[in-house]
Amino acid sequence: MTQQKATNITWHDGNVTREERARALKQKGATVWMTGLSASGKSTIAVALEQVLLQRGKLAYRLDGDNIRHGLNKNLGFSAEDRAENIRRIGEVAKLFADAGIIAVTSFISPYKADRDNVRKLHLDAKLPFFEVFVDLPLDVAEQRDPKGLYKKARAGQLKGFTGIDDPYEAPVKPELHLKTHRMSVEESVRAILELLESGGTLRA
């Protein structure tokens, strides 16, 4: 302990620990990784989850296409290599947020199992909780919803390598949570994630 002469300014050797952060925030850092087809409901659930957590005094932050594709990953395209790098970087940033004590909530299609498994390993190696949430809507239903008209464009050949149409979606084998959003409301999905976080000890110091 390095005691300083003046009042109010004291610090100890070494970094702020995760335990100190958890006590201050009354929560533990974690990553909630949502994966699923375009239009499966990932972003809608993430937005609601973030709000509900904040109402309960818990700090979450969403990583999604809006704040990643135009920022950190704006120099990446859609080649196989760039797609892998896209998910790798998002995983690293989620890990930093989790390390900071925050609940990182990501909503990316993240169709490849290997990429998701790498992100899981990153977290587990750092002793940070990783919750893979499979937002599972049948392709035909997603295609009917098609709020952005992307499936239509993909079917017309105007979008190449579109997940579910001409690129595979590799479903999670053992996700921490499997949300069948065809038969669940947003509220039910949010509640299920909250229960997952509660049972994982994330929502307390």
Nearest to 131 by CA among 113, 143, 119, 149: 119
Nearer to a second copy, 89 or 155 (CB): 89
Site string for a second copy, 17-36 (x = CB under 8 A): ---xx--xx-----------
Q: Does 195 bind a second copy (CB under 8 A)?
A: no
Do residues 197 and 28 make contact, with C-beta atoms less than 8 angstroms apart? no
Q: Looking up tokens 């587990």, which residue turns up? A: 124
Nearer to a second copy, 19 or 166 (CB): 19
Residues 1-20 that bind a second copy (CB under 8 A): 4-6, 8-12, 14-16, 20
Nearer to a second copy, 39 or 45 (CB): 45
CA 29-35-36 angle, to 5 degrees, is: 155
The token pair that represents 60 in the structure block: 């979450």
Q: Does 171 bind a second copy (CB under 8 A)?
A: no
Q: Does 47 bind a second copy (CB under 8 A)?
A: yes
Nearest to 39 by CA among 106, 165, 137: 137
Q: Does 72 bind a second copy (CB under 8 A)?
A: yes
Catalytically active residues are: 107
Site string for a second copy, 84-113 (x = CB under 8 A): -x---x--xx-xxx-xxxx-----------
How many whole angstroms separate alpha carbon 158 and alpha carbon 74? 21
How many whole angstroms separate alpha carbon 116 and alpha carbon 106? 12
